[in-house]
Each structure stands twice: as C-alpha cells, then as structure tokens.
Amino acid sequence: MTTQHEGKTSLDATFGRQPVSPDERKRRIRDIFNRIASRYDLMNDLMSFGIHRLWKRRFVAGLSDSGLFVDLAGGTGDVAALLARNPRRQVVVVDPSIPMMREGRGRADATTVSWIAGEAERLPLPDASVQALTVAFGLRNTTRLELALAEAARVLAPGGTFACLEFSRPMKWLQVFYDPYSFHVIPRLGAWVADNPAAYQYLIESIRNFPDQRRFAAMLESAGFASVRWRNLSFGIACIHVGIKPH
C-alpha cells in the first residue's frame, strides 16, 4: 500500500486530510468530479493562470508518433485532443466520470477521440494492447495507486511508454509562496467559480499526499518500468515522469 510522502497516512485511505476507507474515498472523489465537470477547465485556467496548458503541451511532446494512445483519467479530453493532432495515433480517453467525458465529447478538437468509462485499477483494455498510456493530474485520485500502476504495465505493449504529469514538490524557495496560495486562494476560487470550495480544498490536499518526485520514480521501477526519468516543470510545482515497459 502506498504511503504518504512524509510517512503518515496511506494515500489509498485518505480523502485530503481525512482518514477514510478506500470505498468511501472512491465515492467522494467520483462525486467531486461529477459535480464540478462543467467548470473544471475554467478552474484549471484560473488556478494555474493558464500555465497548465503549457505543461500539457510539453507533456505530449516527444511521445511516439503512432499506435493506440490511452489517456487515463482523461476527463474533458484536453490532453487527448493534443495527442489526436497526430493522425497516426488512435486516441482513447478512459475516465470513471461520465459527466466529465460528456463535457469533452462535443468539442470540435475532440471529435477524433474515443471515450470509455473505466477505472485506473481495472482498465477495460486487453493485455499488451497500448503503445502509450498518459495520465495528467489524475493519478493521485486513484483509490489504489500501486494497482493502477500494475494495470498500466499490463495494458502497455513491450516497449510502450507510461507518461504521467502530476503536481509534485516545488523547490523550497518557491514553497513559501506556493503553499499559502494553494491552501487559501484556490479554495476561494472554487467557491466563486465552481460553487464548491470543499472540492478544491480536497484537490490541494491530495497534492500533498502524493509521493514526491523520487518516491514516485521508485514506485514506477517497483511496478516493472525501465528507463524511469522525470522532469520538473515550473520549479517542481508539476513534474513529468516517464517509464518504458521492457521488451
């Protein structure tokens, strides 16, 4: 079972700072995304001042040119739309939230994307069928992180790429400014724009519960991925992790 960065409470049994059962965690997280689906992209723009779009473009750059690409926890499909700009890719979003996917399906830039309801811990995909599996800002919302990584390894073909973009640990000089902003400003934005401050309070707290750069890289290696590497974005506020399924 995955432990929090500071060794306190299991990620799998928390909801923000609250200890909960895994089933309760899953229920609450799904309820959050179902309720904020219509305002999710707007909130991302406001919270990050639009920088998340730059992060996502860097995230998809350098991935292979062709094959089946699965964007796990793909939500409204913004990453999938970037991936689908290459016509040699077949792009599929897998997400447990129907309202989130409904928000994305009608957009012109997502018309070439397929959509499947499914969970990271039980992917509705055959073994060794995927060339690349991407996940952006969604892995920390899984209920069982180690099982989600095992599922990613199962569905990837030998030589396939796992790529994760997630919030991480910023450099210490930046944390002095970042922590007050994230804990005080973002929930207020959530109250103003999405009428749901509690949802954004959870999303900020979940960032602190997710393993930091080194620990998550070690988890990828434990899950069987090779050539694991990471790259910090915006001084560590976000981080791209990449691993390859061995032949």
- Tell me the pLDDT tens digit for each residue of 46-59: 778 889 999 999 99
Amino acid at 90: Q
Query: Torsion angle of alpha carbons 16, 3, 135, 77, nearest 10°?
Result: -20
pLDDT category of residue 84 using cuts at 50, 70 and 90: very high
Looking at the whole model, is its pTM more than 0.85?
yes
> What pLDDT digit, counting tens, does each position of 134-161 carry?
999 999 989 899 999 999 999 999 999 9
**pLDDT value of residue 113:** 93
User: Which residue matches tokens 């799904």?
Assistant: 30
**pLDDT (mean) for 223-246:** 97
Q: 11-244 has which fold?
A: Rossmann fold (3.40.50)
> What pLDDT digit, counting tens, does each position of 6-18 carry?
333 467 777 777 8
Cβ(242)–Cβ(163) under 8 Å?
Answer: yes
